[in-house]
Structure 1
Amino acid sequence: MTFQNLPTLLSEALAARGYAAPTPVQAAVLEAEAEGRDLIVSAQTGSGKTVAFGLAMAPQLLDEAGRPRMAQSPLALVIAPTRELALQVSRELTWLYEGAGVKVATCVGGMNPSQERRALSYGPQIVVGTPGRLRDHLERGALHLQELAAVVLDEADEMLDMGFREDLEELLDATPEGRRTLLFSATMPQPIVALARRYQRDALRISTTSENRGHGDIAYQAIAIAPADIERAVVNLLRLHEAETAILFCATRDNVRHLHSSLTERGFAVVALSGEHSQNERNHALQALRDQRARVCVATDVAARGIDLPSLTLVVHVEIPRDAETLQHRSGRTGRAGKKGTAILLVPYPRRRRVEGMLRGARIAAEWVNAPSAADIRAADSERMLSALLAPVEIEDEDRELAAKLMAERSPEEIAAALIQAHRAKMPAPEELLATDAPPPRGPREGFEGSSWFRMNVGRRHNADPRWILPLICRRGHVSRSDIGAIRLAANETLFEIASPVAARFLDAVQRTAGEDDGVEIVAADGAPREEARRNRRDHPGAGARPHAGPGGHPGPHKPKPYSREHGNGGRPDKPFHKKAAWKKRPEQAR
């Protein structure tokens, strides 16, 4: 399929941008069955969906001659979840429709609302904005929607996740009955289905996402690493890949600030994006990346939504995403419009199992690799250096004269060595990692081979804590602390391990001390926690845990909390202290 059936001015704009053929989502919205209908489109991030809905709106914006339709108010409204995405959409629609004479106005938070109202008064055919700012202009009478022919909800799932439901409903309720509604969403959760049912009529469902949700143009890698090595691993990844543009994802503003400062000190050209930056600062940061004055961006999830940088080829998840959808949205910053990209997850050893589950849920096949060492960086540097220095170049006469003077003063080996040193001096030094291999799995403690497991009917909901559970076990079972192995706290119960030589004596003691006034019941468990959980799932499929139930379904004791929220500065009784993240500590602190 080609763009031949489009208005001439649109075809010319696409050709000037290098579009030879439509992407799958663009081809789908141009099919005859999609013409004039409401659409629900599931498409991956970076699949060309902005141009897709721009082309889908063409019949509502242009007449048969390809000229803008006459109207006193906007004909199309595009709603996006973030400022960055709205600005990106505005830029895309501007170049697409500029030749046809269609005007685009942008309304986003953080910009001057007076200037936006002035732009709206000039009669733009397309208005692009974020829900909150558009609603504000609507309520103030600056935005008129009575002639609207098409409305687009871009990344609708993100807008609902961010709490924009009321804003969206007020905007959609103000639009005419006969307008087209184009809903674009990477995922289709129930709230999106409900929104479509309310505001669309006979919508055509289009899906260009494959059975394998992993993006075909993104190579996924995962690195299991010691928490204290994460920052050094980030440095080595940037040095190994030497990406034209890279983005590093952190979970909080503080971590963004810390990593940005650390990389700047090491000599990287880096910018930061987080909620603490103003719109002007964000615009300058993105422009620095586009101009190649900066090559690395450290960002939070929300701040990076909607970023579209054609040169971005590397995404590093410095802190693992909270779920599979966040993983895909983060990774989707690269591998856009048919270009290849790499997404790398840095996984602390204790969280590997959780990440493996997340990858399975996202149907992403990630390759587990080792973190690059300093030796790997030096080897890659040597290859790149040889390739760059041996490439054919045109030499000016002035340069030849200088080369002749150098040859007269120094040997070729000395000149080459000086050139290599000068080349290396411009690059940040690679880091030596403290640990390059995952720690071996721990076997059972001596004396705990074939140990016995017991259960007591108190758990986290009763504020169970090893600091008072341990003495209680010793007192009730007549054992010492060295006879007690692992302790596993669950919501409503606690399982613990007793060394095999004293297990029989322990069971006899707890049976004799049963009925003490502490209300705690201790009984033998059927096996280790994981084995027992598997057995329960097999024998009782679909059975859920009963709240506050101990062994046999009896309610656990409601004891006063021995460690309340006043203990330390924590907001949770089971986590009273908030320690500094290991990857933010200095090496000597992290050990």
Structure 2
Amino acid sequence: MIDMNVAAPLAQALEAKGYEALTAVQMAVLADGVEGRDLLVSAQTGSGKTVAFGLAIAPEILAGSDRLLYADKPIALVVAPTRELALQVKRELDWLYGVAGAQIASCVGGMDYRTEKRVLDRGTHIVVGTPGRLRDHIERGSLDLSFCRATVLDEADEMLDLGFAEDLEFILGAAPQDRRTLMFSATVPKEIETLARTFQRDAMRIIAKGETKQHADIEYRAMSVAARDREHAIFNTLRYYDAPTAIVFCKTRMNVTHLMARMTNRGFQAVALSGELSQQERTHALQSLRDGRARVCIATDVAARGIDLPGLELVIHADLPSNSDTLLHRSGRTGRAGAKGVSALIVPPAEAKKAQRLLAGAKVVAQWVKAPSAEEVQAKDDQRILEHPSLTEAVGDESAMVATLIERFGAEQTTAAFIRLWREGRSAPEVLSDSLPPPPASAPRERSEFGPSVWFTLTVGHSGRAEARWILPKICDGAGISKDGIGAIRVKEDVTYVQIAEPLAGRFGPQLELEAGLIMSRMEGEPSLDRPERAPRPVRDDRPAYKPKPSRVVEDEAIVAAPAPARKPYVKRDDAERKPYTPREDKPYAPRAAAERTPYAKRDDAERKPYAPREGAERKPYAKREDGDRKPYAPRDGAERKPYAKREDGPAGGAKFKSAGFKSFGGSADKPARAAGFKSHASEGTGYKPKAEGDRAEKRPYAPKGDDARPFTKGKPAGKPAGFKPAGDGKKPFARKSDAPARPRADAKDTSKRFVPPKGAKR
């Protein structure tokens, strides 16, 4: 019967879910005197913590009413370490507060931020999310916790391990100070107690009944296997127990991917779950396990907290966890709510001691067994066939087909076909090497207490850079034994002696090749491990007698007898000969007189003064000359040449006259200046050469002649210019093409100075 302290809508939801009684942790949070107080609750996994804090925060959410009204801002906040756990908490609260009409929103990484914001804008009563995404919503203003009455930290220790301490402080700082804070966790380390003292007020510590006895419904099995049989042992364990749902935990994402590929090849219905997958892929993987489309989940520790899957009866630790708390959380995925489960640890010989430490730290007792062999898996399959419910059911509509099969093939052949069909859908069992379980943990023993043993030799020594720490794991993996079965290891120059316990010596045989080139052979008797005495080095007579080097100190009596010169200690002198570290009386750093010192050398004569200007006028480099025939980079005073200057008169030597605006490429002194604004064809590059001075006075082609002058245009002329004389019988006047080269006139004067137009000139 449901406790009377439960609110009416929640009690109705529990009864509809099939709850007949509450668990220990659920009854503890509903006890008298707990309502309204901050809580620090610890309970083992699978004890119903999600429903427990859902019942605990009901007074703050419902406020005495059976039906919730519209909530503009959230009333309660639940923070979970992983996305899967946050979504699982939301599903639990959905049915728990469904009768009360609560609106619950999730804010987790990997989901669409805009969709979550729209849900928050429509109004929610409870928000469930991960620390990173919740802080993102708070910083962007889409989540307002000013009216939050209760805050729950689920699996608080895991959030601290994942590095969410700063995010938690930010989130709790955004909530009101008078809120109610509840912390739930399977374990309560010192870090959680410190966090509780910081953010809780007079918190009540609740330890659920059964916490001291860890996982009473879980059977722990430590399977000792050889290193090469690790994966085969996992396959046989899955086949032996044949659980409806199983989880295989790996240490890294790479191991998850590798094991996923191996299982898929063997026909296992498996899905992967790791941090590198998107949230949609992780959600689909968990949904496949809930729907029965997949039976094995290969995951990292991201699935070690809070994941609740139906029918999860087997947990396999393919890689041992890093600490005892992780071992408990991994194993807690099975044996939930009173169900039975198995937690199997795959332990190679090199990790046997680590497995014992983990089990001791978790305060659980495991049974050390061998991994299921191929014969045991086959026998388990045969037992399932005999116990299959289809064999005990009465024959129905299939009776006609049964009679046909028996008549055609016979009962024996039909039964054999049924067995083969049964085995075809399952992976064949793997053959494992024979390995003994390691002995239980014992106190450290002395070397002399090793017991009966057999000595072996290895074909490697100091010359091959062999070391005991390199040889030990190779022997363990090669023979499938633990390091407890190995005694002394003595590395010599070219060989190594190894002591093996007598019960395990048969595994090596007369000779065993550990790897290519490394052979381990059995000895008869014991080797001589005493170090031989070194023979004295031979004395060579051909070497000269040793003479010590003379001492650096000359021990001469005369010199020693002579009085040593007086030495003044490093003290301030009374006289003024030297005053270290004191300013000078004269002006320090003052320039010296010219006659006192000359640079680099004090010379009596002045024949040469280096690095000083010369007095003579022989050479003055890089100085402006006062006189001389040539002044570089300065305009000339003479009239010999005036580059780039307009000439006003006509000097001799073929100088050319130019007027304003006139452009020409050559000429002579007998050519007068052009009129202002005149452009010659020579200046335009057409190849035209002006006529002589006499002809120019009679006719000046292409010069303007009053108002009726025709401008120069391309193509057919519009009219006849003045003075135009047609040639021949009225043919077109001579005209040069734009691209035709210019030809000199036959009657031109001074042919030595013939004008050559520039290349590409146009008319």
Q: What TM-score, normalized to structure 1?
A: 0.76
Q: What's the counterpart of residue 260 of structure 2?
A: 260
1:191 matches 2:191: yes
Report the AA paired with residue 90 of structure 2. S
- Give me the whole-angstrom Cα distance separating, in 2, the residues matched to 1:403 and 1:468: 66
Q: What's the counterpart of residue 285 of structure 2?
A: 285
1:102 matches 2:130: no
Q: Is the 8 A contact 2:70 2:123 kept in 1?
A: no
Structure 1 residue 264 displacement after superposition? 0.6
Structure 1 residue 116 displacement after superposition? 0.4
Q: How does 1:542-581 map to 2 (within 5 A)?
A: none
Q: Is the 8 A contact 1:84 1:307 kept in 2?
A: yes
Structure 1 residue 338 displacement after superposition? 1.6
RMSD: 2.9
- Flag the structure with more relative contact order, 1 or 2, with Cα contacts below 8 A and sequence separation at least 6: 1
Structure 1 residue 410 displacement after superposition? 2.5
- Give me the whole-angstrom Cα distance separating, in 2, the residues matched to 1:447 and 1:407: 63
Structure 1 residue 447 displacement after superposition? 10
Check 1:503–1:465 CA distance in 2 against 1; reply closer, same or farther (3 A cut).
closer
Report the AA paired with residue 259 of structure 1. L
Q: Is the 8 A contact 1:250 1:317 kept in 2?
A: yes
- Give me the whole-angstrom Cα distance separating, in 2, the residues matched to 1:254 and 1:469: 26
Q: What's the counterpart of residue 542 of structure 1?
A: none
Structure 1 residue 212 displacement after superposition? 4.0
Structure 1 residue 2 displacement after superposition? 3.0
Q: What's the counterpart of residue 20 of structure 2?
A: 20
Structure 1 residue 210 displacement after superposition? 3.8
Report the AA paired with residue 147 of structure 1. F
1:415 matches 2:414: yes
Structure 1 residue 7 displacement after superposition? 2.1
Check 1:69–1:203 CA distance in 2 against 1; reply closer, same or farther (3 A cut).
farther
- Give me the whole-angstrom Cα distance separating, in 1, the residues matched to 2:405 and 2:498: 72
- Give me the whole-angstrom Cα distance separating, in 1, the residues matched to 2:201 and 2:130: 24
- Give me the whole-angstrom Cα distance separating, in 2, the residues matched to 1:106 and 1:467: 56
1:46 matches 2:46: yes
Check 1:404–1:141 CA distance in 2 against 1; reply closer, same or farther (3 A cut).
same
- Give me the whole-angstrom Cα distance separating, in 2, the residues matched to 1:323 and 1:132: 25
- Give me the whole-angstrom Cα distance separating, in 2, the residues matched to 1:52 and 1:61: 14
Q: What's the counterpart of residue 206 of structure 1?
A: 206
- Give me the whole-angstrom Cα distance separating, in 2, the residues matched to 1:216 and 1:479: 52
Check 1:480–1:430 CA distance in 2 against 1; reply closer, same or farther (3 A cut).
closer
- Give me the whole-angstrom Cα distance separating, in 2, the residues matched to 1:195 and 1:77: 17
1:385 matches 2:347: no
- Give me the whole-angstrom Cα distance separating, in 2, the residues matched to 1:469 and 1:92: 53
Structure 1 residue 190 displacement after superposition? 1.8
Q: Is the 8 A contact 2:77 2:151 kept in 1?
A: yes
Q: What's the counterpart of residue 251 of structure 2?
A: 251
- Give me the whole-angstrom Cα distance separating, in 2, the residues matched to 1:116 and 1:394: 54
Q: How does 1:533-544 map to 2 (within 5 A)?
A: none
Structure 1 residue 408 displacement after superposition? 1.8
Runs of 4 or more above 6 Å deviation: 439-443, 467-470, 483-486
Q: Provide Cα deviations, 1:14-55, integer angstroms capped at 9, x if missing partner.
A: 112121111111010010121111000011111100000000
Q: How does 1:220-239 map to 2 (within 5 A)?
A: 220-239=220-239
Q: Provide Cα deviations, 1:348-398, integer angstroms capped at 9, x if missing partner.
A: 01211121121111111111111111110111111100111664325433x
- Give me the whole-angstrom Cα distance separating, in 1, the residues matched to 2:387 and 2:280: 40
- Stretch moving more, 115-124 or 303-312: 303-312
Q: How does 1:74-473 map to 2 (within 5 A)?
A: 74-208=74-208, 210=210, 212-388=212-388, 391-397=391-397, 399-437=398-436, 446=455, 466=467
Report the AA paired with residue 226 of structure 1. A
Check 1:43–1:415 CA distance in 2 against 1; reply closer, same or farther (3 A cut).
same
Check 1:245–1:439 CA distance in 2 against 1; reply closer, same or farther (3 A cut).
closer
Structure 1 residue 423 displacement after superposition? 1.5
- Give me the whole-angstrom Cα distance separating, in 2, the residues matched to 1:369 and 1:246: 20
- Give me the whole-angstrom Cα distance separating, in 1, the residues matched to 2:59 and 2:294: 40
Structure 1 residue 193 displacement after superposition? 1.1
Q: Is the 8 A contact 1:156 1:192 kept in 2?
A: yes
- Give me the whole-angstrom Cα distance separating, in 1, the residues matched to 2:31 and 2:438: 55
Structure 1 residue 339 displacement after superposition? 1.3
- Give me the whole-angstrom Cα distance separating, in 1, the residues matched to 2:98 and 2:195: 32
Structure richer in helix, relative to its length:
1
Q: Is the 8 A contact 2:72 2:122 kept in 1?
A: no
Local SS of the residue matching 1:369: strand
Q: Provide Cα deviations, 1:111-157, integer angstroms capped at 9, x if missing partner.
A: 00000011111111100000000000000000010111100000000
Local SS of the residue matching 2:172: helix
Check 1:79–1:483 CA distance in 2 against 1; reply closer, same or farther (3 A cut).
closer
- Give me the whole-angstrom Cα distance separating, in 1, the residues matched to 2:198 and 2:330: 30
Q: What's the counterpart of residue 733 of structure 2?
A: none
Looking at CA atoms only, which structure, 1 or 2, has the larger radius of gyration? 2
- Give me the whole-angstrom Cα distance separating, in 1, the residues matched to 2:144 and 2:341: 42
Local SS of the residue matching 2:68: coil
- Give me the whole-angstrom Cα distance separating, in 2, the residues matched to 1:198 and 1:137: 24
Q: What TM-score, normalized to structure 2?
A: 0.59
- Stretch moving more, 372-381 or 408-417: 408-417
Local SS of the residue matching 2:530: helix
Local SS of the residue matching 2:9: helix
Local SS of the residue matching 2:388: helix
Structure 1 residue 424 displacement after superposition? 1.5
Local SS of the residue matching 1:105: strand
Q: Is the 8 A contact 1:483 1:499 kept in 2?
A: no
Check 1:66–1:48 CA distance in 2 against 1; reply closer, same or farther (3 A cut).
same
- Give me the whole-angstrom Cα distance separating, in 2, the residues matched to 1:324 and 1:467: 30
- Give me the whole-angstrom Cα distance separating, in 1, the residues matched to 2:531 and 2:14: 76
- Give me the whole-angstrom Cα distance separating, in 2, the residues matched to 1:392 and 1:447: 59
Report the AA paired with residue 100 of structure 1. A
Check 1:352–1:209 CA distance in 2 against 1; reply closer, same or farther (3 A cut).
farther
Q: What's the counterpart of residue 452 of structure 1?
A: none
Q: Is the 8 A contact 2:29 2:52 kept in 1?
A: yes
- Give me the whole-angstrom Cα distance separating, in 1, the residues matched to 2:399 and 2:83: 52
Aligned length: 475
Unaligned ranges ≥5, structure 1 = 449-463, 471-477, 487-497, 510-591
Structure 1 residue 428 displacement after superposition? 1.2
Structure 1 residue 480 displacement after superposition? 4.7
- Give me the whole-angstrom Cα distance separating, in 2, the residues matched to 1:252 and 1:242: 25
Q: What's the counterpart of residue 564 of structure 1?
A: none
Q: What's the counterpart of residue 536 of structure 1?
A: none
Q: Is the 8 A contact 1:62 1:69 kept in 2?
A: no
Report the AA paired with residue 238 of structure 2. L
Local SS of the residue matching 2:102: coil
Q: What's the counterpart of residue 9 of structure 2?
A: 9
- Give me the whole-angstrom Cα distance separating, in 2, the residues matched to 1:227 and 1:442: 26
Q: What's the counterpart of residue 530 of structure 2?
A: 502
Structure 1 residue 485 displacement after superposition? 6.9
Structure 1 residue 213 displacement after superposition? 4.7
- Give me the whole-angstrom Cα distance separating, in 2, the residues matched to 1:212 and 1:504: 60
Check 1:436–1:198 CA distance in 2 against 1; reply closer, same or farther (3 A cut).
same
Structure 1 residue 70 displacement after superposition? 5.7
Structure 1 residue 5 displacement after superposition? 3.0
- Give me the whole-angstrom Cα distance separating, in 2, the residues matched to 1:336 and 1:128: 23
Q: How does 1:493-532 map to 2 (within 5 A)?
A: 502=530
Q: Is the 8 A contact 1:71 1:147 kept in 2?
A: no
Q: Is the 8 A contact 1:63 1:69 kept in 2?
A: no
Q: Is the 8 A contact 2:24 2:209 kept in 1?
A: no
Check 1:35–1:375 CA distance in 2 against 1; reply closer, same or farther (3 A cut).
same
Structure 1 residue 65 displacement after superposition? 3.2
Q: Is the 8 A contact 1:214 1:365 kept in 2?
A: no
Q: Provide Cα deviations, 1:60-83, integer angstroms capped at 9, x if missing partner.
A: 111323222664311100000000
Check 1:443–1:346 CA distance in 2 against 1; reply closer, same or farther (3 A cut).
farther
Structure 1 residue 201 displacement after superposition? 0.8
Check 1:147–1:227 CA distance in 2 against 1; reply closer, same or farther (3 A cut).
same
Q: Sequence identity, in percent?
A: 51
